[in-house]
């Protein structure tokens, strides 16, 4: 086979254990004019300077004051001079690599690749056999296995479903053990207080076979730091973020302000507020440790004014995501976005809302996508069938190309001449050399003629997804890990579980 035939790109492998990085096909879209972008930045700086952010952690106050901020020590309200924010924002890295236990699953952040993660933090789980129910450790582990096998799933965004049958104060231990033993992809720490972060860092060292100095050289976990919009930074979250920062791990700074409830009802007002919240916290973390890896993780989406529920995958979400991406590029910060749906079933609504979110991620220039596999009901449920449906759509998005490959033009001309008028190309050398890799191969779509589909029982998309996730779990193989390492992890979990007891952390 010629070299140019060997160079033909394969579609991303979505059904095996080999993760395939997905490259964005299109240049990010700017929807703000230059004047509007400058105005968002200027008004954000004004908001930080005149109103400020409230930091509930007294530990943050001397750091803020030492770097030029004004702190009201009765309230924690902190005002940031514009030049201070702009100086420290420039210290955050534009690119970094997140190291996985398996180096084949390392994630380079900040370039043309877009990485899609699992669902995260839903309290309920859904499948067609058992219906909607509270999440358990068994469901959590099955979803970790499934996300490990899906080539579209680059990392674990968090608990794919909350295992509510495990104690909240030691859940981070049992969850980390499952992530490290059932998968070898990049994972998350629930950054609520220092204890969870320190335990997670200890377990990373055991699982990876490294010491703290080596750990600090590259991020291996990420924590989501949600600003309590409007304008409040709670103590457990910012103290956890500081612990991650000083240890070289990644913080996702995530104002999640639902327009009309936690931020102004207009997208313009929400974007200004959320941008101010994000850059203020990122600037603070650079005061803690210059060069600490951070994601610009703003979500701007409305609430349903009839029910109060967050709306996802709607036009306003797309528009807000594109504007947020433009601001992230202004600051040269990697962007984190979210993928989700408000649908209660793996149906057409679930598909079109998620596809809207996928296009928003693609065109905003996003690098890191939370909740990309299975999130539904506005984040209250993770669906097994929806996980497969989302993987199918992500795989299709990953197969898009931003340009055409004309390297085979001469061979194509030869094939056209060979076939001639009225012929077919099925048996030509040109076709036979390429038929296995020429087109994206779906894992879920059914392209058979109607009669063949009907004779097979007329399975709809959800039914095919149901069969697919079961078959994948049946074929799952645990990634290799040294038995001594696994025993050391188990011993650490047992020891820390006993030490923590039933104490709150």
For residues 53 and 233, is the Cβ–Cβ distance under 8 A?
yes
pLDDT band at 358 (very low <50, low <70, confident <90, very high): very high
Percent share of the chain, pLDDT over 90: 90
Q: Per-residue pLDDT for 17 more than 90?
A: no
Could you list the beta-strand ranges (E) of 260-414. Answer: 294-296, 299-302, 336-338, 368-370, 375-376, 381-383
Q: Per-residue pLDDT for 505 more than 50?
A: yes
Tell me which of 23-27, 307-311, 374-378 is least confident: 307-311
pLDDT band at 221 (very low <50, low <70, confident <90, very high): very high
The DSSP code sequence of 218-245 is: S--EEEEE--BTTTEE-HHHHHHHHHHH
Give this prediction's pTM. Answer: 0.94
Residue 496 in tokens:
């820390």
- Higher-confidence position of 20 and 359: 359
What pLDDT, on the 0 to 100 scale, is given for residue 8? Answer: 37
What pLDDT, on the 0 to 100 scale, is given for residue 340? Answer: 86
Distance separating the N- and C-terminal Cα atoms of the chain: 61
Q: Per-residue pLDDT for 9 more than 50?
A: no
Domain of 30 in residue numbering reads as: 1-399+440-496
For residues 356 and 314, is the Cβ–Cβ distance under 8 A?
yes
For residues 29 and 322, is the Cβ–Cβ distance under 8 A?
yes
What pLDDT, on the 0 to 100 scale, is given for residue 15? Answer: 56
What pLDDT, on the 0 to 100 scale, is given for residue 425? Answer: 95
Q: How many domains does the chain have?
A: 1
What pLDDT, on the 0 to 100 scale, is given for residue 16? Answer: 58
In a domain, 373, yes or no: yes
What pLDDT, on the 0 to 100 scale, is given for residue 18? Answer: 74
220 CB-contact burial (10 Å; exposed 0-12 / middle 13-18 / buried 19+): buried
In a domain, 502, yes or no: no
In a domain, 388, yes or no: yes
Average pLDDT, the chain: 94
Contacts of residue 269, Cβ cutoff 8 Å, sequence gap at least 6: 259, 263
Q: Per-residue pLDDT for 13 more than 70?
A: no
What pLDDT, on the 0 to 100 scale, is given for residue 258? Answer: 85
For residues 158 and 179, give the distance between their C-alpha atoms in angstroms, rounded to a whole number: 9
What pLDDT, on the 0 to 100 scale, is given for residue 5? Answer: 34
- Higher-confidence position of 491 and 5: 491
- Side by side, the strands of the sheet bearing 187-189 are 187-189, 221-225, 250-253, 294-296
In a domain, 459, yes or no: yes
Q: Which residues of 306-345 are buried (b: 16+ CB within 10 A; e: fewer)?
A: eeeebbbbbeebbbbbbbbbbbbbbbebbbbbbbbbbbbb
Instruction: Collapse the DSSP code of 55 into the 3-class scheme (helix H, G, I; strand E, B; otherwise coil) and give the result.
Output: strand
In a domain, 82, yes or no: yes
Q: Per-residue pLDDT for 14 more than 60?
A: no
Tell me which of 16-20, 208-212, 282-286, 375-379 is least confident: 16-20
For residues 243 and 201, give the distance between their C-alpha atoms in angstroms, rounded to a whole number: 10
What pLDDT, on the 0 to 100 scale, is given for residue 10? Answer: 45
User: What are the tens digits of pLDDT across the range 103-131?
Assistant: 999 999 999 999 999 999 999 999 999 99
For residues 378 and 383, give the distance between their C-alpha atoms in angstroms, rounded to a whole number: 12
For residues 334 and 297, is the Cβ–Cβ distance under 8 A?
no
User: What are the tens digits of pLDDT across the range 24-70?
Assistant: 999 999 999 999 999 999 999 999 999 999 999 999 999 999 999 99
For residues 433 and 415, is the Cβ–Cβ distance under 8 A?
no
CA distances from 245 to 191, 286, 306 (A): 11, 8, 40
Tell me which of 3-17, 30-44, 371-385 is least confident: 3-17
For residues 192 and 168, give the distance between their C-alpha atoms in angstroms, rounded to a whole number: 11
In a domain, 447, yes or no: yes
Check which CATH number belongs to the domain holding 453 and give it: 3.20.20.480
Residues 298-318 have a mean pLDDT of 85
The residues that bridge with 299 in the sheet, in sequence order, are 256
Percent share of the chain, pLDDT over 70: 97
Length of the chain: 505
In a domain, 413, yes or no: no
Q: Per-residue pLDDT for 6 more than 70?
A: no
In a domain, 281, yes or no: yes
Antiparallel, parallel or unpaired: β 22-23 and 113-117: antiparallel
For residues 253 and 227, is the Cβ–Cβ distance under 8 A?
yes
Neighbours of 265 (CB within 10 A): 13
User: What are the tens digits of pLDDT across the range 170-179?
Assistant: 999 999 999 9
């Amino acid at each position: 086979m010629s070299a140019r035939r060997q160079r033909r790109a394969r579609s991303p492998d979505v059904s095996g254990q080999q993760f395939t990085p997905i490259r964005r096909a299109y240049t990010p879209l700017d929807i703000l004019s230059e004047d509007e972008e400058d105005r968002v930045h200027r008004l954000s700086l004004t908001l930080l300077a005149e109103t400020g952010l409230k930091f509930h952690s007294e530990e943050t106050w001397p750091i803020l004051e030492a770097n030029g901020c004004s702190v009201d020590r009765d309230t924690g309200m902190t005002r940031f001079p514009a030049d201070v924010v702009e100086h420290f924002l420039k210290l955050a890295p534009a690119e970094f690599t997140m190291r996985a236990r398996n180096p084949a699953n390392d994630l380079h952040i900040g370039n043309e690749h877009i990485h899609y993660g699992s669902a995260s933090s839903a309290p309920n789980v859904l499948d067609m056999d058992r219906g909607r129910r509270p999440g358990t450790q068994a469901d959590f582990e099955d979803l970790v296995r499934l996300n490990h096998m899906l080539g579209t799933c680059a990392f674990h965004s968090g608990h794919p479903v909350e295992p509510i049958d495990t104690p909240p104060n030691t859940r981070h231990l049992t969850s980390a053990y499952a992530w490290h033993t059932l998968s070898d992809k990049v994972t998350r720490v629930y950054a609520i207080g220092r204890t969870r972060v320190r335990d997670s860092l200890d377990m990373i060292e055991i699982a990876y076979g490294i010491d703290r100095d080596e750990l600090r050289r590259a991020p291996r976990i990420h924590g989501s730091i949600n600003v309590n919009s409007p304008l409040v930074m709670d103590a457990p979250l910012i103290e956890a973020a500081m612990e991650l920062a000083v240890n070289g791990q990644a913080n996702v700074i995530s104002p999640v302000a639902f327009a009309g409830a936690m931020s102004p009802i207009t997208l313009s007002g929400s974007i200004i507020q959320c941008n101010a919240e994000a850059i203020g916290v990122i600037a603070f973390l650079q005061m803690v440790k210059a060069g600490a890896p951070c994601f610009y993780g703003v979500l701007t989406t409305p609430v349903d004014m009839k029910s109060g529920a967050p709306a996802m995958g709607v036009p306003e979400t797309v528009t807000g995501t594109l504007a947020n991406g433009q601001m992230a590029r202004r600051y040269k910060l990697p962007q984190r976005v979210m993928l989700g749906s408000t649908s209660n079933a793996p149906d057409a609504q679930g598909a079109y809302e998620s596809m809207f979110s996928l296009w928003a991620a693609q065109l905003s220039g996003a690098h890191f996508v939370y909740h990309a596999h299975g999130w539904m009901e506005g984040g209250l449920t993770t669906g097994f069938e929806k996980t497969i449906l989302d993987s199918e759509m992500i795989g299709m998005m990953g197969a898009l190309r931003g340009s055409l490959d004309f390297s085979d033009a001469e061979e194509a001309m030869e094939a056209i001449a060979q076939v001639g008028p009225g012929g077919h190309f099925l048996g030509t050398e040109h076709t036979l050399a390429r038929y296995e890799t020429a087109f994206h191969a779906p894992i879920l779509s059914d392209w058979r003629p109607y009669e063949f589909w009907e004779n097979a029982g007329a399975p709809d998309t959800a039914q095919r997804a149901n069969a697919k996730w079961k078959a994948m779990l049946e074929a799952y193989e645990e990634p290799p890990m040294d038995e001594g390492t696994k025993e050391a992890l188990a011993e650490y979990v047992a020891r820390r579980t006993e030490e923590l007891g039933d104490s709150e952390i």
